[in-house]
């Protein structure tokens, strides 16, 4: 980075109110393909340091993470996004290829160096091509500094990372999505809990009506469930993060209630549920009281929501240590709610409100943009589009392009800030064709922006999908959800008193979701559907603000495209 750049970085951190006195935690990450059996069948998966999922990162608020990532993939680039970490003052470390940095070439090492500024449950994952689908992900937990206490009590902690698995490779999936005729990836074959699942057998075949045989594991088998061991009459914090590529999930534990206390690294007003809906990109903490019969074990299940499921439940066992973990539960696993019971999903989502003391949204916004999600065609290829523009990333990262005024590296025409008011969201589009583009929504620094995400009918037939949208570099306030098309006057229904802070929010079928955020973190940031194939098909936009306020951007982040040429011409090499 250089001394001058480092000093600018430190000054910036001081301005935004963070201490640089925390511990520096060093990691070496070697990203590579490996042969593994996550669901009892052997597949090629992407992992880190020989591990799948990747190693769990654990740090305290104020710590600096210094992660030296070496690409050992041989034939493709890679990056890692630190999901939920805002990267205050370090936008080049966000880990988004063509947006915050160049892809890391085979054999190269890139240093991610950033401060974790607040406690919470987070995770990391690949953000290049469809490498998250290939298995490039892991957990990232940030604890309070020693001596500080959470606003809730617990005796122990359990960490759950949820994902989905296909037997077709991510490369094969990418080719199908980019083919004419279009080839959809289909539903996942297996749901994984901490990287483990079972294909073509069921842990609970004795208890449920299924043609699948009972699972039988050999000693040390990779796909054997990771048993959750607990003691009676204790309270456990279960940290749950969903890095699924497609599936929305429902999680439940037989006979046990769950108390939701954290969502996306922000405390929420606690509420009690029997089960919890989770969309891709979301993370939660729930409290579990082990107050059931200690002479029994209990099922933990995850099942598909929001899409017609063709994937068996993922299962593991909650083991009371008073008995053997090999003793099976005596009753069936919880039944996953009906996949299209969206009213149930909405009821759960609307229960999530901010804990008292959480910063509340500004009472007014400076501008509003409306983003219509539609499925379209571009030159006969099936795409997703926002306001009729399907995102195609440029070869030169936006961060460097904006910093160095490289106006030819991306479309300088601002993307549309709304869509035609006569658009019928309940029917297939009259004009199914869209355009490709890579323009940027430019905001003024500290501008307060409202985003209305509007869902619509699919390309043909009747149907509207769930889309979880994730914003990089910021949290936003979720102001509300609505049915049908957003209309004048709906803003009067916004929740301005206890709006939850999130980094991922869902849009329900044929509905809208209203978000508000402050453009107070200089950088170029992705805002996109967190469903991996949808992003691959163009369902995203780019926000940027205050880039010229940044000091020196590390050269290694910009060594590609027109930025590299500019750096050479200006004597930076």
pLDDT the model gives residue 565: 65
Residues 6+ apart with CB under 8 A from 15: none
Strand runs labelled E in 73-224: 80-83, 109-115, 120-126, 137-143, 156-165, 190-193
Contact 516, 361 (CB under 8 A): yes
- The percent of the chain in helix, strand and coil, each rounded to the nearest 5, is 10, 35, 50
Question: Model confidence over 290-322: pLDDT tens digits?
Answer: 999 999 999 999 999 999 989 999 999 999 999
What is the token pair recorded at 153?
Answer: 């009590």
Stated pTM of the model: 0.93
What is the token pair recorded at 235?
Answer: 């309270």
What is the token pair recorded at 371?
Answer: 């983003």
Question: Model confidence over 52-99: pLDDT tens digits?
Answer: 999 999 999 999 999 999 999 999 999 999 999 999 999 999 999 999
d(CA 377, CA 547): 33
Of the candidate ranges 160-164, 238-242, 401-405, the one whose mean pLDDT is the lowest: 401-405
Q: How many CA atoms lie within 13 A of 65 on its CB side?
A: 27
Confidence category of residue 570, pLDDT binned at 50, 70, 90: low
Contact 275, 265 (CB under 8 A): no
d(CA 274, CA 301): 12
pLDDT the model gives residue 3: 36
Q: What is the mean pLDDT of residues 361-366?
A: 97
Which DSSP helix (H) or strand (E) runs through 28? strand 24-36
For the chain, how big is the Rg over CA atoms in Å? 23
Please measure the distance between the N-terminal and C-terminal CA atoms of the chain and give it in whole angstroms. Answer: 13
Residue 520: name the closest of 10, 88, 25, 96 by CA. 88
Residue 392: count other Cβ atoms within 10 Å of its Cβ. 15
Contact 445, 546 (CB under 8 A): yes
CA distances from 241 to 57, 238, 316, 401 (A): 14, 10, 16, 33
pLDDT the model gives residue 563: 72
| String of DSSP letters for 479-500 | EEEEESS--TTGGGG---SSPP
Residues 6+ apart with CB under 8 A from 218: none
d(CA 358, CA 123): 22
Dihedral, CA atoms, 76, 79, 83, 88, nearest 10 degrees? Answer: -160
Residue 426: name the closest of 453, 458, 452 by CA. 458
Q: What is the mean pLDDT of residues 370-377?
A: 97
Residue 427: count other Cβ atoms within 10 Å of its Cβ. 10
Contact 358, 267 (CB under 8 A): yes
Contact 486, 454 (CB under 8 A): yes
Q: How many CA atoms lie within 13 A of 435 on its CB side?
A: 9
CA distances from 301 to 169, 377, 549 (A): 26, 38, 48
Which DSSP helix (H) or strand (E) runs through 563? helix 561-569
Question: Model confidence over 470-529: pLDDT tens digits?
Answer: 999 999 999 999 999 999 999 999 999 999 999 999 999 999 999 999 999 999 999 999
Q: What is the mean pLDDT of residues 99-116?
A: 96
What SS3 state is found at 199?
A: coil
pLDDT the model gives residue 572: 53
Question: Model confidence over 320-342: pLDDT tens digits?
Answer: 999 999 899 999 999 999 999 99
Provide the sign of the torsion angle of the four alpha carbons 390, 392, 398, 401, taken in this order.
negative
d(CA 62, CA 20): 7
Phi, psi dihedrals of residue 568, rounded to the nearest 5°: -65, -45
What is the token pair recorded at 431?
Answer: 């004009």
Phi, psi dihedrals of residue 141, rounded to the nearest 5°: -115, 130
Average pLDDT, the chain: 93
d(CA 331, CA 546): 57
Question: Model confidence over 247-295: pLDDT tens digits?
Answer: 999 999 999 999 999 999 999 999 999 999 999 999 999 999 999 999 9
Contact 371, 454 (CB under 8 A): yes
Q: What is the mean pLDDT of residues 150-172?
A: 97
Q: How many CA atoms lie within 13 A of 384 on its CB side?
A: 26
Confidence category of residue 4, pLDDT binned at 50, 70, 90: very low
pLDDT the model gives residue 47: 97
pLDDT the model gives residue 21: 57
Residue 355: name the closest of 260, 469, 240 by CA. 260
Phi, psi dihedrals of residue 225, rounded to the nearest 5°: -60, 145
Question: Model confidence over 406-445: pLDDT tens digits?
Answer: 989 999 999 999 999 999 999 999 999 999 999 999 999 9
What is the token pair recorded at 403?
Answer: 């910093």
Q: What b-and-e string marks burial along 158-169, b requiring 16 or more CB atoms within 10 Å of the CB?
A: bbbbbbbbbeeb
What is the token pair recorded at 221?
Answer: 């088998």
């Amino acid at each position: 980075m250089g001394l001058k750049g480092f000093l600018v970085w430190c000054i910036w951190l001081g301005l935004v109110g963070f201490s640089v006195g925390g511990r520096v935690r060093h990691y070496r990450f070697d990203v590579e393909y490996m042969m593994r059996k996550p669901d009892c069948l052997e597949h090629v998966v992407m992992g880190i340091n020989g591990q799948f999922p990747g190693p769990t990162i654990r740090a305290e608020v104020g710590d600096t993470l210094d992660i030296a990532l070496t690409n050992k993939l041989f034939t493709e680039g890679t990056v890692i996004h630190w999901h939920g970490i805002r990267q205050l003052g370090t936008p080049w470390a966000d880990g988004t290829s063509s947006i915050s940095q160049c892809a890391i070439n085979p054999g190269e090492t890139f240093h991610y160096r950033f401060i974790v500024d607040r406690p919470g449950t987070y995770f990391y994952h690949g953000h290049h091509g469809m490498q998250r689908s290939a298995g490039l992900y892991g957990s990232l937990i940030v604890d309070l500094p020693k001596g500080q206490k959470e606003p809730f009590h617990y005796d122990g902690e359990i960490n759950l990372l949820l994902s989905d698995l296909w037997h077709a490779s991510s490369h094969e999936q990418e080719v199908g999505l980019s083919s004419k005729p279009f080839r959809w990836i289909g539903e996942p074959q297996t749901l994984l809990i901490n990287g483990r699942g079972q294909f073509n057998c069921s842990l609970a075949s004795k208890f449920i009506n299924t043609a699948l045989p009972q699972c039988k594991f050999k000693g040390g088998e990779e796909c054997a469930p990771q048993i959750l061991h607990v003691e009676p009459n204790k309270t456990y914090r279960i940290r749950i993060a969903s890095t699924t590529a497609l599936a929305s999930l429902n999680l439940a534990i037989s006979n046990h209630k769950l108390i939701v206390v954290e969502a996306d690294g922000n405390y929420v007003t606690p509420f009690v549920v029997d089960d919890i809906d989770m969309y891709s990109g979301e993370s939660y903490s729930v409290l579990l009281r082990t107050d059931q019969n200690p002479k029994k074990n209990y099922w933990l299940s995850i099942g598909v929501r929001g899409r017609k499921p063709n994937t068996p439940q993922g299962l593991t066992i909650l083991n009371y240590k008073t008995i053997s973990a090999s003793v099976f539960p005596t009753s069936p696993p919880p039944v996953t709610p009906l996949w299209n019971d969206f009213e149930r999903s909405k009821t759960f989502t609307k229960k999530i409100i901010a804990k008292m003391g959480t910063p509340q949204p500004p009472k007014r916004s400076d501008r509003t943009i409306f983003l219509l999600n539609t499925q379209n065609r571009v030159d006969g290829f099936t795409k997703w589009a926002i306001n009729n523009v399907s995102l195609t990333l440029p070869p030169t990262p936006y961060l460097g392009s904006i910093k160095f005024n490289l106006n030819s590296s991306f479309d300088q025409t601002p993307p549309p800030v709304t869509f035609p008011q006569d658009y019928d969201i309940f029917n297939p589009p009259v004009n199914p064709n869209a355009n490709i583009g890579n323009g940027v929504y430019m905001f003024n620094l500290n501008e307060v922006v409202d985003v209305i995400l509007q869902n619509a009918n699919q390309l043909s037939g009747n149907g509207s999908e769930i889309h979880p949208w994730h914003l990089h570099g910021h949290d936003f306030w979720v102001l509300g959800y609505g049915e049908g098309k957003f209309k004048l006057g709906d803003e009067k229904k916004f929740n301005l008193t206890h709006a939850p802070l999130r980094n991922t929010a869902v849009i329900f079928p044929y509905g809208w979701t209203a978000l508000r955020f402050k453009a107070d973190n200089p950088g170029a940031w992705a805002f996109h559907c967190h469903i991996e194939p949808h992003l691959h098909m163009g369902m995203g936009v780019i926000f940027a603000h205050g880039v010229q306020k940044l000091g020196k951007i590390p050269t290694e982040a910009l060594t590609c495209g027109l930025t590299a040429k500019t750096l050479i011409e200006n004597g930076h090499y």
